[in-house]
Amino acid sequence: MGFGVRERSSSEMIIRLLRSSNSRVSRTNNQPQQTQEQLTAEQQKLMDESGKMLEYLRKEVFKLRGYNLQLKTDFDLLKDNNQRLMDTNASAGASFAALNQHAVEQTKHPTLR
């Protein structure tokens, strides 16, 4: 099954957040004249943003695990129903063959009726 619009937008949001974090890190690394306080503030900001991203990803993983569990449950139910239908079909086929054979026998020997 493919991803829905919601899952795709979540993935796109994660990618945007990661790219924005990476660009901030590269800008920080290119500015050696920053004071220790500015660097620490920027690092704290990045840590806060990383924490938010991790929390978001944890929630997404939790939702996807629930969705996966539901799909597994549905799959098991469909598998059971499919097996039951195949068994019923085989039984109906055997009954049809037996009735067909009986009809052929009846037409060969009309006096046995």
Domain count of the fold of the chain: 1
| pTM > 0.85 | no
Local structure of 34: helix, strand or coil: coil
Higher pLDDT, 36 or 23: 36
Cα–Cα dist 17/100, whole Å: 69
User: What is the torsional sign of CA 101, 102, 103, 109?
Assistant: positive
Q: Which residue has the higher pLDDT, 53 or 21?
A: 53
Q: Which pLDDT band holds residue 1 (cuts at 50, 70, 90)?
A: very low
Distance CA 46, CA 35 (A): 17
Using CB atoms within 10 A of its CB, is residue 73 exposed (0-12), middle (13-18) or buried (19+)?
exposed
Q: Domain limits at 59?
A: 5-112
| Helix, coil or strand: residue 61 | helix
